[in-house]
Amino acid sequence: MIKKTGNLWLDLLYYIVFGVQNIASGLHDKIIFDTLNDNLGKAFIKADQPVLKFRQFYQSWVAKVQSN
Protein backbone atom coordinates (compact mmCIF):
# COMPACT_ATOMS: atom_id res chain seq x y z
CA MET A 1 0.00 0.00 0.00
CA ILE A 2 1.29 3.42 -0.88
CA LYS A 3 1.28 5.97 1.88
CA LYS A 4 -0.44 9.21 0.85
CA THR A 5 0.85 12.30 2.60
CA GLY A 6 -1.04 15.07 0.81
CA ASN A 7 2.26 16.51 -0.42
CA LEU A 8 2.43 16.05 -4.21
CA TRP A 9 6.21 15.69 -4.43
CA LEU A 10 6.45 13.31 -1.50
CA ASP A 11 3.57 11.22 -2.89
CA LEU A 12 5.36 11.03 -6.27
CA LEU A 13 8.51 9.87 -4.48
CA TYR A 14 6.55 7.14 -2.69
CA TYR A 15 5.04 5.95 -6.01
CA ILE A 16 8.48 5.82 -7.62
CA VAL A 17 10.04 3.93 -4.69
CA PHE A 18 7.11 1.51 -4.62
CA GLY A 19 7.51 0.82 -8.34
CA VAL A 20 11.26 0.27 -8.10
CA GLN A 21 10.77 -2.13 -5.18
CA ASN A 22 8.27 -4.17 -7.20
CA ILE A 23 10.58 -4.34 -10.20
CA ALA A 24 13.55 -5.35 -8.04
CA SER A 25 11.62 -8.07 -6.22
CA GLY A 26 10.23 -9.38 -9.50
CA LEU A 27 13.69 -9.66 -11.02
CA HIS A 28 14.93 -11.40 -7.90
CA ASP A 29 12.03 -13.88 -8.00
CA LYS A 30 12.63 -14.58 -11.69
CA ILE A 31 16.21 -15.61 -10.95
CA ILE A 32 15.01 -17.97 -8.22
CA PHE A 33 12.23 -19.52 -10.28
CA ASP A 34 14.51 -20.02 -13.28
CA THR A 35 16.71 -22.29 -11.18
CA LEU A 36 13.87 -24.54 -9.95
CA ASN A 37 13.73 -28.11 -11.15
CA ASP A 38 10.50 -29.05 -12.95
CA ASN A 39 10.90 -32.71 -12.00
CA LEU A 40 10.42 -32.12 -8.28
CA GLY A 41 6.63 -32.22 -8.44
CA LYS A 42 3.90 -29.82 -7.44
CA ALA A 43 4.13 -26.63 -5.45
CA PHE A 44 4.03 -26.90 -1.69
CA ILE A 45 1.21 -24.39 -1.23
CA LYS A 46 -1.77 -23.48 -3.37
CA ALA A 47 -0.61 -19.86 -3.74
CA ASP A 48 2.48 -21.05 -5.65
CA GLN A 49 0.45 -22.60 -8.47
CA PRO A 50 -0.07 -19.38 -10.53
CA VAL A 51 3.62 -18.54 -10.27
CA LEU A 52 4.61 -21.99 -11.46
CA LYS A 53 2.10 -21.83 -14.34
CA PHE A 54 3.56 -18.46 -15.37
CA ARG A 55 7.06 -19.90 -15.16
CA GLN A 56 6.04 -22.78 -17.41
CA PHE A 57 4.51 -20.32 -19.89
CA TYR A 58 7.60 -18.09 -19.76
CA GLN A 59 9.98 -21.01 -20.24
CA SER A 60 8.00 -22.16 -23.29
CA TRP A 61 8.50 -18.75 -24.88
CA VAL A 62 12.19 -18.77 -24.02
CA ALA A 63 12.51 -22.16 -25.68
CA LYS A 64 10.74 -20.84 -28.82
CA VAL A 65 13.05 -17.83 -29.03
CA GLN A 66 16.17 -19.90 -28.49
CA SER A 67 15.13 -22.38 -31.19
CA ASN A 68 14.73 -19.62 -33.79
pLDDT in tens, the chain (68 residues): 777 888 999 999 999 999 999 888 888 877 777 776 666 655 567 777 788 888 889 989 989 988 87
Q: What is the pTM of this model?
A: 0.46
List, as one string, the DSSP characters of 30-54: HHHHHT--GGG-S-SSGGGHHHHHH
